[in-house]
């Protein structure tokens, strides 16, 4: 094979690989970029049961209840416009509490209950899940406010 041809083949292979990677990424992003949902997105756009998503919002005050088994909790997540019921079995993060922000990973079941497999709460007092920035919770009125 001539060196020139070889260069051409290499360049073509690299081009195909780059385009392929771009297409793959775009197709996957189309499905997965709608990965984070606020409760209002769930209400307006709808999420099919079983699809893995992240649900983010604030834990509604007074909604947190523990099941008899001691490890399952039930709570409501709100973004001020809509509220979604959720459950989680496991050890909740230390900073997971009512009136605080949470991002829950999991999927909806057939009855519209969000079954979380993982809870991401604030790591420390300063850190906030970045999806929840611009949201705040009014302690007095129990209202969520989207700041932008």
Partner 1 sequence: MIAETGLAALWLAAALALLQLLLTFVGLRGGKPELLAAVRPAAVAQGVLTATAFALLVALFLRSDMSVLLVATNSHSMKPWLYKFAGTWGNHEGSMLLWVTVMGVAGAAVALFERALTRAAHMATLGGQAAISLGFYAFLLFSSNPFARIAQPPADGQGLNPLLQDPGLAFHPPTLYLGYVGLSVAFSFAIGALLTRQVDAAFARAMRPWVLAAWVLLTLGITAGSYWAYYELGWGGWWFWDPVENASLMPWLAATALLHSVTVLATRDALRAWTIMLAVIAFSMSMVGTFLVRSGILTSVHAFAVDPARGSFILALLAIYIGGALALFGWRIGSVREGAPFELVSRETMLVANNLLLSVILGIVLIGTLYPLMTEAFGHKVSVGAPYFDRIAGPLALALMVVLAAGPLTRWRRDRAAAVGRRLIVPVVIAIIAVGSLAVLAWGRIGILPFLGLVIALSVGAASIAPLWKRNLWRTPLFTWGMVIAHLGCAVSLAGMACDSAFTVEKLVAARPGDMIQTAGWTIRFDRIMPIAGDNWTALQADMTVDRGGAPTLIRPQSRFFSSPPTTTSEAALLTRWNGQLYVVLGEEVEGNRWQLRIWWKPFVTLIWLGGVMIALGGALALVGRERRGWLMKWRSRRAMA
Of 62, 66, 109, 143, which lies in the binding site for partner 1, with binding defined by CB under 8 A? 66
The CA distance from 52 to 108, in Å, is: 8
Residue 57, strand partner residues: 102
If the CB atoms of residues 15 and 143 are measured against partner 1, the closer one turns out to be 15
Q: Is 8 in the site for partner 1 (CB under 8 A)?
A: no
Q: Are 104 and 114 in contact (CB under 8 A)?
A: yes
Pick from 125, 108, 127: nearest CA to 117:
108
Binding residues vs partner 1 (CB under 8 A) = 1-3, 6-7, 9-10, 13-14, 17-18, 20-22, 24-25, 28-29, 32-36, 52, 54, 66, 69-71, 89-92, 94, 105, 118, 123-125, 127-128, 130-131, 133
């Amino acid at each position: 094979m001539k060196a020139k041809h070889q260069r051409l083949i290499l360049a073509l292979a690299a081009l195909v690989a780059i385009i392929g990677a771009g297409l793959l990424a775009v197709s996957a992003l189309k499905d997965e970029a709608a990965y984070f949902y606020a409760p209002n997105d769930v209400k307006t756009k709808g999420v099919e049961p079983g699809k893995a998503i992240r649900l983010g919002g604030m834990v509604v005050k007074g909604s947190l209840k523990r099941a008899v088994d001691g490890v399952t909790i039930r709570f409501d997540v709100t973004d001020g416009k809509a509220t979604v019921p959720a459950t989680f079995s496991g050890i909740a993060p230390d900073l997971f509490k009512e009136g605080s922000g949470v991002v829950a990973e999991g999927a909806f079941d057939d009855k519209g209950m969000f079954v979380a497999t993982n809870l991401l709460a604030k790591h420390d007092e300063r850190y906030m899940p970045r999806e929840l920035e611009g949201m705040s919770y009014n302690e007095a009125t129990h209202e969520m406010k989207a700041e932008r």
